[in-house]
């Protein structure tokens, strides 16, 4: 069995809640995961100080397990990059692209599309946070610089990685933006969802890890062939959706099944407790995910507490 802890949207800076971060760190060492997957938005304002705090926290988590991280839209200097693209900041030497990811690369990881192999699974990080760029243009003004997209060249990189991966290993792709519309936000994170899901499924991807929506969710989609499971981790920070709590997802990959358990912050226990569990048969045993039967597999474990209305 391969265990991955999937966390997202830590938002170091004002929204970070140290009580929850510390509870997560303590819980993690008892869970003994093979890897910790962090699907972006480490910071709130992309500030050096926030990155330093995020980096130090990740180093603590790495005492338990290797971490793989992708940037979120809050981790890139997209506005400054636009100014550079328009030639408004000719005094600066660095090009817009380098500028956009400079702080993330300095503090967190040089590689924007990292790859991690652990026994039983491979995780390909795929950067979807490009700020305002051709693939992420939208008419919805409030989504400018917020929405993401999957680039063809990054998918090719994942393809090459997966081709070299051990045949039995679960193929997992981690992105920041949610490909499935958020239940409360009503928003898609990606501008090219259909193409991205189809293409990633065709590469043999079993599971997509993402965040960004700040509402936890576990989806299975039949829009692709073979089907895909999508783990959306909620936020550890206080930027939760109304009526929701902070959360993260635990992923257990067995030979025959994939289990995802959502852990939700409980204000009374001052800890994350299991709240929802979904179980899926793995595709190499069945040829594809048996989505018809697993839609009803969701099980409420009865620990959800929705007491934190702050966003
Ligand atoms: Fe976020
Ligand atoms: Fe985000």
pLDDT digits 0-9 by tens, 177-232: 999 989 888 888 998 999 999 999 999 999 999 999 999 999 998 777 778 999 99
- Please report whether residue 311 resides in a domain: no
The pLDDT of residue 303: 31
Ligand 2 centroid distance, CA of 144 (Å): 12
Which residues touch 197 (CB under 8 Å, ≥6 apart)?
Answer: 179, 208, 221, 223, 224, 228
| Closest C-alpha among 112, 115, 74 to residue 235 | 74
Which residues touch 88 (CB under 8 Å, ≥6 apart)?
Answer: none
The ligand with the least distance to the CA atom of 9 is 1
The pLDDT of residue 224: 74
- Please report whether residue 310 resides in a domain: no
- The neighbourhood of ligand 2, an ion, using CB within 5 A, equals 41, 72-73, 212
Report residue 172's pLDDT band, with 50, 70 and 90 as the boundaries.
very high
- Please report whether residue 85 resides in a domain: yes
Kind and range of the H or E run holding 167: none
C-alpha to C-alpha distance for 167 and 66, rounded to whole angstroms: 22
Q: Tokens 């499924």 belong to which residue?
A: 201
276: β partners: 262, 300
Residue 136 has pLDDT above 90, yes or no: no
225: β partners: none
How many domains are there within the chain? 1
CATH number at residue 194: 3.60.21.10
- Please report whether residue 309 resides in a domain: no
C-alpha to C-alpha distance for 251 and 310, rounded to whole angstroms: 27
C-alpha to C-alpha distance for 9 and 46, rounded to whole angstroms: 13
Report residue 292's pLDDT band, with 50, 70 and 90 as the boundaries.
very low
Ligand 2 centroid distance, CA of 22 (Å): 22
The ligand with the least distance to the CA atom of 239 is 1
The ligand with the least distance to the CA atom of 43 is 1
285: helix, coil or strand? Answer: helix
Q: Report, as an integer, the average pLDDT of 73-83.
A: 77
- Please report whether residue 306 resides in a domain: no
At 120, phi and psi to the nearest 5?
Answer: 95, -10
Cis check: omega of the bond before 226, within 30 degrees of 0: yes
Domain that holds residue 254: 2-300
Ligand 2 centroid distance, CA of 254 (Å): 30
CB atoms within 10 A of CB 309: 11
| Closest C-alpha among 195, 237, 194, 229 to residue 212 | 237
- Please report whether residue 307 resides in a domain: no
- For 238-289, write each residue's pLDDT tens digit: 999 988 999 999 999 999 999 999 999 999 999 999 999 999 998 764 444 4
Orientation angle between helical segments 48-61 and 18-31, nearest 10 degrees: 30
């Amino acid at each position: 069995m391969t265990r991955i802890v999937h966390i997202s949207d830590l938002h170091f800076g004002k929204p970070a809640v140290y009580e929850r971060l510390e509870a997560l760190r303590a819980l993690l060492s008892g869970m003994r995961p093979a890897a910790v997957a962090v699907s972006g938005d480490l910071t709130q304002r992309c500030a050096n100080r926030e990155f330093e705090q995020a980096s130090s926290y990740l180093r603590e988590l790495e005492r338990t397990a290797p971490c793989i991280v992708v940037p979120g839209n809050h981790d890139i200097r997209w506005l400054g990059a636009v100014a550079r693209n328009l030639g408004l900041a000719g005094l600066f030497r660095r090009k817009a692209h380098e500028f956009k990811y400079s702080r993330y690369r300095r503090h967190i990881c040089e590689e924007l599309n990292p790859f991690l192999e652990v026994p039983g699974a491979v995780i390909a990080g795929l950067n979807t946070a490009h700020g305002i760029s051709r693939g992420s243009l939208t008419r919805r003004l409030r989504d400018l610089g917020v929405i993401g997209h999957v680039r063809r060249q990054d998918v090719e990189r994942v393809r090459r990685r997966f081709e070299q991966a051990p045949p039995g290993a679960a193929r997992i792709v981690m992105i920041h933006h949610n490909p499935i519309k958020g239940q409360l936000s009503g928003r898609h994170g990606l501008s090219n969802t259909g193409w991205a899901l189809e293409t990633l499924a065709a590469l043999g991807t079993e599971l997509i890890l993402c965040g960004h929506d700040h509402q936890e969710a576990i989806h299975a989609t039949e829009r692709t062939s073979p089907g895909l499971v999508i783990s959306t981790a909620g936020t550890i920070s206080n930027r939760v959706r109304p009526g929701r709590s902070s959360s993260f997802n635990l992923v257990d990959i067995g030979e025959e099944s994939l289990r995802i358990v959502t852990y939700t912050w409980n204000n009374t226990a001052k800890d994350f407790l299991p709240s929802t569990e979904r179980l899926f048969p793995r595709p190499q045993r069945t040829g594809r995910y048996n989505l018809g039967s697993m839609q009803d597999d969701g099980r409420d474990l009865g620990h959800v507490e929705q007491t934190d209305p702050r966003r």
